[in-house]
Amino acid sequence: MKQLANCLSLVLLGSAAIAAGCSSSNPASSNGGSNGAGGGSGGGASGSKLTALVPDATGFVDVGGSIPTGITGAWYAYGDGIGSDGTAMTGDCELKGGHAATDCSAITSPPFGVFMNTGGKMCTQGTVAKILNITGGSTPDYNNIWGAGIGLDLNNAGGDAGAVKKTYNATAAGVIGMAFDIDVVPAANMRIEFPTNATNAAFWDGLKQISPVAVGHNEVLWTKVTGPFYDATAPAFDPTSIFSIQFHVLTSATSAGTYNFCISNLSAIMAN
């Protein structure tokens, strides 16, 4: 039930989802797709000390006790085509954008409210929509057709009474970044985002269109989390107030795209 409660808290955030971890659904945040990913573990720390963030069978992570990170939270899937009740009609694309469900991003798996650990991998697949014009207008609707992805809350104990998403102080815990493995980088391109209390989520290599994700092992230091590029007044990334890590598959104004990838070996990079 922790996983379900977490998903509900995520999508119930509505317009505050940018800050609290649902998506970067804001102008120009989903216009990647023209640049190839690259860089592999660029931005990482050679020989760094990693603390594994191992999910249980239901995708819940509880790294407490003697482990220094204190990270607690559930994995979740999110997208512009799904809302707080798990239906398409309440998604940003449909409810706010006024678009047909068939024109919105769709999550094939995991199903709403469930995210099973598959042999140590957290896997997802689906479709990110082609960005249509604003209903009744002539400019692309970047705000409401922003894509889909998966993420992990870093400070969310969950529970049947409803999850409460809180900020995580990585600096106090001695965490200087995140590492992960990915089996396939979506052709639609990705951003590795770290939502905070800022209006728009900063991401890995955030002064560029996309994050330099490569198949295999990737390491991201907080010093490489910047932007986002489309926000001229974005504050510096604050690692003392992180809500989650997100693997965001981007939409494009030229065509729809599919994604099918697994994240494994997610770890906190610890200060030496």
Phi, psi of 99 (to 5 degrees): -95, 160
pLDDT digits (tens, 9 = 90+) for 229-255: 999 999 999 999 999 999 999 999 999
Q: What is the pLDDT of residue 12?
A: 30
pLDDT digits (tens, 9 = 90+) for 1-48: 343 333 333 333 322 232 223 334 332 233 222 222 333 444 445 557
CA distance linking residue 22 with residue 107, whole number of Å:
14
Q: What is the DSSP annotation of 144-198?
A: T---EEEEEESB----TT------B-TTTTTEEEEEEEES---TT-EEEEE--SS
Tokens of 16: 């505050």
Run of H or E residues at 77: strand 71-79
Helix (H, G, I), strand (E, B) or coil at 56: coil
Query: What percentage of the chain exceeds 70 in pLDDT?
Result: 79
pLDDT digits (tens, 9 = 90+) for 92-121: 999 999 999 999 999 999 999 899 999 999
Give the pTM: 0.83
Residue ranges covered by each domain of the chain: 2-270
Helix (H, G, I), strand (E, B) or coil at 5: helix
Q: What is the pLDDT of residue 1?
A: 39
Angle at alpha carbon of residue 114, lines to 112 and 118, rounded to 5°: 130
pLDDT digits (tens, 9 = 90+) for 63-93: 865 567 899 999 999 999 998 788 898 999 9
pLDDT digits (tens, 9 = 90+) for 175-213: 999 999 999 999 999 999 999 999 999 999 999 999 999
Lowest-pLDDT range, 56-65, 219-228, 252-261? Answer: 56-65
Give per-residue burial for 34-66: e unless 16+ CB within 10 Å, then b. eeebebebebbbeebebbebebeebbbbbbeee
Residue 139: other Cβ atoms inside 10 A: 8
Q: What is the DSSP annotation of 6-50?
A: HHHHHHTTGGGHHHHTS---STTTT---SS----TTTTS-TT-EE
Lowest-pLDDT range, 20-34, 126-140, 255-269? Answer: 20-34
